């Protein structure tokens, strides 16, 4: 397994454990997290401060978050991850699941960019 794929997997695992410290260790100080393609509250955050802010907002909404990796591909300095996310609402207790694709860009051995996509096809179209 490549180092880039291992970085992406470690980030998802740290998110599931709610380990923001490890996520920061895996991410470049200038990390950009692009959630502009999601349907609710599209946003782009930058740097570790933006990463922490986004992480805290998500953790306030969801009591639990777990990801089932369905496919992972390395394309140059990018890693495409297709997964099924399982979430449990903190207040409502409602459990939901959603399939999505994410592309991580690796720079200097760190995760430098994250882009959320609604589907693998959208992610691949953007990569080409």
Q: Going from the N-terminus, what domains does the chain have, and what CATH number goes with each?
A: 3-127 (3.10.450.50)
pLDDT means per 10 residues, the chain with 128 residues, are 94 92 96 91 94 89 92 96 95 96 96 97 92
Left, alpha or beta for 98 (phi > 0: left; psi -120 to 50: alpha)? Answer: beta
At residue 57, the pLDDT reads: 87
At residue 40, the pLDDT reads: 82
Q: Could you give the CA distance from residue 29 to residue 47 in angstroms, rounded to a whole number?
A: 5
Cα atoms in the 13 Å half-sphere on the side-chain side of 101 = 18
Q: Tell me the sheet residues that pair with 45.
A: 33
At residue 113, the pLDDT reads: 98
At residue 54, the pLDDT reads: 86
Neighbours of 90 (CB within 10 A): 12
Query: Strand 62-75 to strand 95-107: parallel, antiparallel, or no bridges (unpaired)?
Result: unpaired
Give pTM, 2 decimals. Answer: 0.90
Q: Which residue has the tokens 């969801």?
A: 62
Left, alpha or beta for 90 (phi > 0: left; psi -120 to 50: alpha)? Answer: alpha
At residue 33, the pLDDT reads: 95
């Amino acid at each position: 397994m490549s180092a880039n794929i291992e970085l992406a997997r470690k980030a998802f695992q740290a998110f599931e454990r709610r380990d923001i410290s490890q996520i920061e260790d895996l991410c470049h100080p200038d990390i950009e997290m692009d959630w502009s393609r999601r349907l609710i509250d599209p946003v782009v955050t930058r740097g570790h401060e933006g990463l922490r802010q986004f992480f805290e907002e998500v953790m306030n909404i969801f009591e639990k978050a777990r990801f089932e990796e369905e496919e992972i591909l390395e394309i140059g300095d990018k890693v495409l991850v297709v997964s099924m996310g399982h979430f449990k609402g903190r207040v409502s207790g409602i459990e939901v699941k959603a399939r999505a694709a994410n592309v991580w860009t690796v720079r200097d051995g760190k995760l430098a960019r994250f882009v959320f996509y609604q589907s693998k096809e959208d992610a691949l179209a953007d990569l080409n």
